Chains A and B, each alone.
Chain A
Amino acid sequence: MDYTVIIGLEVHVQLQTRTKLFCGCSTRFNPDHPNTQTCPVCLGLPGALPVLNREAFHLGMKTGLAINCEIPSFTKWDRKQYYYPDLPKAYQISQYDLPMSQNGWLEIEIDPETRETKKVGIIRAHLEEDAGKNSHDESGRGHDSKVDLNRCGTPLVEIVSEPDLRSAQEARKYLEELKLLLTYIDVSDCNMQEGSLRCDANVNLHIHQENGETIPTPIVEIKNLNSFRGVEQAIEFEVKRQWEAWQETKLSLHDVPKETRGWDADRGITLEQRGKEEAADYRYFPDPDLAPVTVTDAEREKVSSELCERPALRRNRLESEYELSAYDAAVIIDQGLAFADYFEQVAKGCQNGKQAANWVTQDVLRELKEKGLEISSFTIKPEILAALLEKVERSEITTKSARTVFQELINSEESELNAASVQSIIEDKGLAMVSDTGALEAAVQAVVAKNEKAVADFQSGKQAAVGALIGQVMREVKGADPKVVRELLIEKMS
């Protein structure tokens, strides 16, 4: 007897609009100043009315199109009703039966070895307003709970996948690809710590019986997943738990209603959250305060044309256009849109994609990580790095010298840097490759004369002896091309 894991994800993404979904309040993350970004509309005061933020709708459309959804020509707003202190109207304006986008998919790579991909179906992506945030006294001293409504009314897009994911790893991969995509198309910063990307997972097992029948176990919704690692661990835990529960109880999906469990990251377990007796009836109905929205073909095309190249396509293009390894292309794409743009500017500038990839994925990335920088604030602009690599490409300096120059550039003030900086550092440090064979030959001659033993070793067949001699010549003549030195030495000694 075995089983298949069935996973569907519901992802909430905060759209990066300046103002809230139905009022003009700021959406800035500002937990230190609670209830300062509010107005009668998002406070739900009597008599206040919502007005749709067109920019949020626009970003919602962009999201829908990026995940290959249909954007219906008619969509409306519904009230989802429940009582909770972080929801001042006691209903959330959301979308029920006519979401603004539906029937899409997202492709993920499920095996890095074979590079096998899978299209994960997306049922729908709809817009809704976020709730505020409650904080409770955890000291046990019975202090009051507090409510911060700064976040209340922030635009969210909820993306609901089909139950197409078959393992915790696939779920994580889907989430990572989704985050990458949404940051690429610039609709969200997807910052999980600040709650801009939140995930709930629906998990159950299909138990394969010996007689060929398949029995589904009860569906569990796992909440409170706020990191990629958490998603993966929580699903792994839940799969194990459900398998054990099945062996013990033999209860199927038809015997038990859907259960909600919370992920406790500290203890590494899921815990039952909401009792079955409180199964919610949200009493959805169309919000009479908001007119439905119609979308024309022209609007759809306009938003479509604004979409940048999506990460999956760009990854493939980098591989073919710059002859990169799949690994390098993935590393570059995974750093985000600005980084990929940086790479391409360097690669075009120096005319060598592989070299550019080596530098940006190693030297540049190391520097960013050490200093905790974003590529946008990195002082060596792509045209400067391209100018440097072009010197290597043209054999004007050695790769080693280039690293010296790179270090100098990093240590310089950004304001002092320009395209000419590279050349002046090379000159100051005397790193230019010496093409004057007269000087080189003299140095080679002198080194050969001084190292009788090494010459004898070489002549008796020890190729390695050349290495030590190359070093000596290079110390004499800075900027010499080691390849040329090697050839001259061998010539002299043979």
Chain B
Amino acid sequence: MSNTSATASELLAKMNSGEVSSEEITAACLEEIARRDNSINAFLSLQAETALETAREVDRKRKAGEPLGKLAGIPVALKDNICAKGATTTCASKMLEAFTPPYDAHIVEQLRAADAVLIGKTNLDEFAMGSSTENSAFKTTANPWNTKCAAGGSSGGSAAAVAAGFAPLSLGSDTGGSIRQPASFCGVVGLKPTYGRVSRYGLVAFASSLDQIGPFARDVTDAALLLETIAGKDQRDTTSLDADVPSYTKNLEQPLENLKVGYIEHLHAEGLHEDVKAATQQALEVYKSLGAELIPVELPHAKYCVATYYIIAPSEASSNLARYDGVHYGYRAKQFDNMIDMYAASRGEAFGDEVKRRIMLGTYALSSGYYDAYYLKALKVRRLIRNDFEQAFQKVDIIASPVTPTPAFEIGELVDDPLAMYLADIFTTSANLSGIPGVSVPAGMSQNKLPIGLQLLAPPLEEERLLRAARMFERETDWHRQRPE
């Protein structure tokens, strides 16, 4: 494996043996980006200079035998809704085009402490709202497997960067599938942790009760390594969980015994692509061959997930995005008559259509007279969905399903049909609504040579189980070793 296609674990081994330096790896990534990102569009900004400086410093430390962090010298890309001091954090919006946060997100502090090399900020759907990065105000990220196709979203840039050989690791955020779906489209591993497992401090909020930061990687081992670097309680995020962080890499190779894999019989809804259906079926067969028991589970309220999600997420978004009013920072309209007009003009000019659509949905759902029928009702259904999972996990250890109904769609194919785009979230939103961890692992290829992911879900804080189950599957298959041309 070359320096741009190897996994982080392989690169760490190579650096430790002196075969390669962090500077060489970082330079190789930057070269690859320079060479090919004009056709992929994974990055919104690069921190090339500071990345190389960090890489040289890590090389010096490694040479001098000084203590090193877990990710010493590994290039990592950040979704551009995660704040890092000194780099713009645009959220792919005109609103924050010139915004440079004066502080690091909690996970950025963790990455710096682990001696990671922060290489650049990746593209996303504006404020993480979308499933294709087509809602980015600046560019659309292409799928490295087929540049006519979408990389997925909203963390499309981060998924594409790992798939395209631009960075071995990256971080995204997942509010309704925004890590797992692009991971599936781009053929990489993407994990959404338990709500609260990773601090949200410094993640620009979309829907606060659903947002969660998680890793993208080229295999399960790397995902485990990155997760154990960023997870844990942070006093600045009171929703972060005060639970010990186990070493996710430690027992990763140890298969789970008497594993009970749940699968959802009736969710194989209309519109499920034949190739996706086949890949999911084959994955279940792999588990069966490993001695796992396959058990059908009922999630009676799963059919309400998308509806519930599209009440709760826009409601919170309408509130979280109200602060972008042109007064204190961010975009301000050039021409306005008075204060109210300044608000309206600034927001009207700087937000894209999808963001506006969701702000309006959420504002409506929270309005006096509608609150009970929409928001409150959605919270109740959310509780029922959570109960469904609690009951299911009494019978099974993990639940396997497709990530998305189809492999990557073509860029432009769904832009005029937001509802169809929303409905594609059918398999992913349930994990956010119920707060449980989920992972997408490469599990097949469509006839059109596009990757297909398998989603695994586990109970809250069972990331270790989730990762070991994923690793069991990965070891028996070859999908994660495939790289785009």
Contact = CB atoms under 8 A, between A and B. Distances in A.
9 contacts: A45-B102, A47-B83, A47-B204, A48-B201, A48-B202, A51-B235, A81-B319, A89-B323, A285-B366
Interface stretch (B43-51, B249-257, B281-289, B367-375): B367-375
Interface stretch (A229-237, A238-246, A286-294, A342-350): A286-294
B339 interface: yes
B327 A88 contact: yes
Closest 10 CB pairs of A and B: A90-B322, A288-B209, A288-B208, A283-B366, A46-B204, A47-B202, A281-B368, A47-B83, A85-B327, A47-B204
A93 B83 CA distance: 23
Interface stretch (B158-166, B236-244, B268-276): B236-244
Contact of B371 (A79, A91, A285, A288): A285
A52 interface: yes
A47 B206 CA distance: 10
A397 interface: no
Nearest to B202: A47
Contact of A47 (B205, B209, B235, B322): B205
Interface string A35-51: 00000100111111111
Interface in B437-476: none
Contact of A289 (B82, B239, B328, B367): B239
Interface string A16-43: 0000000000000000000000001001
Interface in B86-114: 89, 91, 96, 99, 101-103, 105
Where chain A touches its partner, the secondary structure class is: loop
Nearest to A51: B238
Interface residues of A, number: 28
A273 B200 CA distance: 41
B99 A46 contact: yes
A43 to B, nearest CB: 7
Interface in B181-216: 200-205, 207-209
A81 B99 CA distance: 24
Given A47-B89, A47-B202, 12 more contacts: A40-B103, A45-B101, A47-B81, A47-B203, A48-B201, A83-B340, A85-B327, A85-B328, A85-B339, A88-B328, A147-B328, A289-B239
Contacts of A89: 322-323
Given A283-B366, A285-B366, A289-B208, A40 B101 contact: yes
Contacts of A83: 322, 325, 340, 343
B336 interface: no
B242 to A, nearest CB: 11
Interface in A322-357: none
B246 to A, nearest CB: 24
Interface of B: 81-83, 89, 91, 96, 99, 101-103, 105, 200-205, 207-209, 235-239, 315-316, 318-319, 322-323, 325, 327-329, 339-340, 343, 363, 366-368, 371, 375
Nearest to B82: A47
A288 B200 CA distance: 12
A44 B328 contact: yes
Contacts of B238: 49-52, 289-291
A91 B83 contact: no
Max chain B C-beta neighbours (<10 A), residue from A48, A85, A281: A48
Given A47-B203, A49-B238, A285-B375, A91 B322 contact: yes
Contacts of B325: 83, 90
B254 to A, nearest CB: 35
Max chain B C-beta neighbours (<10 A), residue from A40, A47, A52, A291: A47
Contact of A288 (B91, B316, B367): B316
Contacts of B322: 81, 83, 89-91
Nearest to B201: A49
A45 B315 CA distance: 20
Nearest to A44: B323
Max chain B C-beta neighbours (<10 A), residue from A52, A85, A291: A85
B239 A291 contact: yes
A46 B89 contact: yes
B204 to A, nearest CB: 4
Nearest to B209: A288
A283 B209 contact: no
Contact of A49 (B236, B318, B323, B368): B236
B432 to A, nearest CB: 12
A79 B316 CA distance: 10
Contact of A91 (B319, B329, B375): B319
Contacts of A88: 323, 327-328
Nearest to B379: A286
Nearest to B343: A83
Max chain A C-beta neighbours (<10 A), residue from B207, B328, B363: B328
A51 B238 CA distance: 6
Contacts of B99: 46
B103 to A, nearest CB: 5
Given A90-B322, A283-B368, A285-B315, A43 B239 contact: no
B319 A285 contact: yes
Nearest to B316: A288
